[in-house]
Structure 1
Amino acid sequence: MHEPTARCLRRTALWLATLLVMPFSVSLHAASDTVQADVYAIESNRAATTLLLDVAHAGPRVVAVGDHGHILYSDDQGQSWQQARVPSRQLLTAVYFVDERHGWAVGHDAQILASSDGGQTWSKQFEDQQREAPLLDVWFQDPNTGFAVGAYGALLATLDGGRHWDDVSARLDNEDQFHLNAIAAIPEAGLFIVGEAGGMYRSRDLGQSWEKLDSPYHGSLFGVIATGQPQTLLVFGLRGNLLRSSDFGDSWEAVQAQDERGALQATLAGAGRLDDGSLVLVGNAGTVLRSTDAGQNFTVFNRPDHIALAGVTGNARGELILVGQGGVRLGSSDGAALEQR
């Protein structure tokens, strides 16, 4: 039996219930014909304090996604937030912008939403309620070419900006249909996917073909991020496990992060690379890790509020924009809380 759907539980960071999912049984094109009439997210002045699972930049704008179909955007470095008009009330798990205007969000019911105005308004490109399985991450090479990954080995691809999505899961050697939790581009190398049971897949041709790698860790991996150096990446997951490769996955070294209690045990949930090149990882119990040497070493700060964190990015003032349980928070460069805003 599969572990709970990793990225959803990881990104909610609550771990209060097991997400029940069923295997994919409906073809993508048939599913495209079953999109229901749009039901829009309810507008709420408390949307910025509800569960948010991912955050990304759309140029200078910051966009966050989460529960109840909430998508928020900020034009003042994360100090205040506006709620976007969104044709969904589902849990949204990830957001990605390829430029300051074109972005995509994914979530439950295999929903894929798109924006062409920097996240202010959204349209629904695809959903399949019969799958009862979420999409968990999304990445685009340019405004036309992109991929979404998700539960039970889902790998979807588009060549036309999402007007049509093809199920290309068969490109992966994933007979057990383990969940795919995250996808990222690695400079001068290609694409990398991580998932359940230590799953690692790499593509040197931007997703046309994939190679399954032997993983040094067999627990769930929830994220992958490029360090900024050629062919170098970090993967991370359960119980603080953090691995670094400088050769696009040919070899790995464990990165040992320490806090005041010893070796880090908190599950790591999300990551971001800041304008100054530093890497920040966040996770359960308010854990914030920062590296200024491309992921070779990390300092650890445990926020006293112990709020589970799911995603992170930075603003122009060098502060961290943190999302997770209880919504969005601004933090100092190490993750410590700023004054209440």
Structure 2
Amino acid sequence: MSEPVMRRTLSGGLARSSRIPVSRIYSPLGKALSLCSVLSILAFTVAPLTVQAAEPASLYSIMSERAQSSLLLDITAAGKRLVAVGDRGHILYSDDNGSTWTQGKVPTRQLLTAVYFVDDKHGWAVGHDAQILATTDGGQTWVKQFEDLSREAPLLDIWFKDDAKTGFAVGAYGALLETTDGGANWEDVSDRMNNEDGYHLNSIIAVKDSGLFVVGELGVMFRSADWGQTWETVESPYDGSLFGAVATKEPATLLVYGLRGHLFRSSDFGDTWQQIEINTPNNGPLEFGLADGELLADGSIVVVGHGGTVLKSTDDGRNFSLVNRADRVSLSSAATTDNGKLILVGQGGVHVASPTGADLGQQ
């Protein structure tokens, strides 16, 4: 195994990087949506596995009228604004509950996999080439804080403390990066986890009154009670890949989800797990992959996935209602609007839905 080497971030700071096992192939759609085989053909059309050369500083995402209907992988709220990220470096924002969308000025054309805001101005996005982008104006303009072409793999999720200083990014081959200065410098701290096989880390979340939780490939789980300084391996209830996790409004309580509709709930920060059974209208078990979840402002939880799957819980994840959208598009993330509608993103871009997730014409 090679010795770690130091790599310089775009802001001049140094970050450690280790050799990546190139024999493993990572599906390029990133995050939960990308890891499910249903969209494997789409993955090769929108994001080739070929490693691209470093981009010139002037190469920005192309403004396109079709960006709103292109592949989008994540959406979040920045105050009252909604911000979505996805294919070809597209970052879109809406100030009217998803009715209209404007493209931000983004210094990349790589696939972006996740976005996170701490307030209405300060946010970060991650994606292929291990890129980390940042904004201080609510998503209108972005700067590139970090990239590492040698990784040949994407970052898949990002989380920041409310102080906008301390943050972590996770990704393929066990990547764990940390910043303590708002992203001016990023350090590879992957060795804090016992992940010698380099399993992909798909999601990082904060669990109320408990700490940070990470899930990934082949059911791996890690938790940190000191908010990222030390990490403990958690025994997983499932040996298939987990694509995401979402905290509830209750202390120490979270849900994790992944392949073939597998969904688990813990109320003790991962010590024990209960499987949540989801049955379809024909009484068969849900077998679509679940990609992402969101705790909404009213305390309800939405989980979305393949086949137009939208799950919603109003009791902190103990029970879920199920809607299979008529369009059957694969969904990768969800957010809510002031008027109670859901904004779903994924295959086909932005989809405005009813509070249950159904198409507005499906009700």
- Matched residues in 2 for 1:205 and 1:195: separation? 20
Match of 1:198 among 216, 219, 223: 219
2:149 aligns with: 129
- Moved >2 Å (runs of 4+): 1-7, 9-13, 17-22, 34-38
Range 193-202 or range 127-136, more displaced: 127-136
CA contact (8 A) 1:272 1:312 kept: yes
CA deviation after TM superposition for structure 1 residue 260, in Å? 1.4
Q: CA RMSD in A?
A: 1.9
CA contact (8 A) 1:5 1:179 kept: no
CA deviation after TM superposition for structure 1 residue 82, in Å? 0.2
1:330 aligns with: 352
Aligned amino acid, residue 267 of structure 1? G
- Matched residues in 2 for 1:292 and 1:258: separation? 17
**CA displacement, residues 21-53 of structure 1 (integer Å, 9 cap, x when unaligned):** 79xxxxxxxxxxx88524100000111000000
- Matched residues in 2 for 1:194 and 1:36: separation? 34
Instruction: Decide whether aligned partners of structure 1 residues 154 and 242 sit closer, same or farther in structure 2, where only a CA change above 3 A counts.
Output: same
CA deviation after TM superposition for structure 1 residue 231, in Å? 0.2
Instruction: Decide whether aligned partners of structure 1 residues 9 and 191 sit closer, same or farther in structure 2, where only a CA change above 3 A counts.
Output: closer
* Mapping 1:211-222, distance limit 5 Å: 211-222=232-243
Alignment gaps of 5+ in structure 2: 1-22
**CA displacement, residues 74-110 of structure 1 (integer Å, 9 cap, x when unaligned):** 0001110000000000000000001111000000000
Secondary structure of 2:212's counterpart equals strand
Secondary structure of 1:258's counterpart equals coil
**In the alignment, structure 1 residue 73 sits paired with structure 2 residue 98:** no
**In the alignment, structure 1 residue 298 sits paired with structure 2 residue 320:** yes
Aligned amino acid, residue 244 of structure 2? G
CA deviation after TM superposition for structure 1 residue 227, in Å? 0.9
Range 158-167 or range 251-260, more displaced: 251-260
**In the alignment, structure 1 residue 119 sits paired with structure 2 residue 139:** yes
**In the alignment, structure 1 residue 100 sits paired with structure 2 residue 125:** no
- Matched residues in 1 for 2:344 and 2:238: separation? 27
**In the alignment, structure 1 residue 278 sits paired with structure 2 residue 300:** yes
CA contact (8 A) 1:39 1:88 kept: yes
CA contact (8 A) 1:195 1:222 kept: yes
Number of equivalent positions: 329
- Matched residues in 2 for 1:208 and 1:252: separation? 25
CA contact (8 A) 1:180 1:194 kept: yes
Aligned amino acid, residue 304 of structure 2? V
CA contact (8 A) 1:7 1:136 kept: no
CA deviation after TM superposition for structure 1 residue 214, in Å? 1.1
Aligned amino acid, residue 207 of structure 1? G
Instruction: Decide whether aligned partners of structure 1 residues 182 and 110 sit closer, same or farther in structure 2, where only a CA change above 3 A counts.
Output: same
2:244 aligns with: 223
Aligned amino acid, residue 138 of structure 1? I
Aligned amino acid, residue 291 of structure 1? S
CA deviation after TM superposition for structure 1 residue 232, in Å? 0.2
1:30 aligns with: none
**CA displacement, residues 255-289 of structure 1 (integer Å, 9 cap, x when unaligned):** 00111131111100011111111000000010000
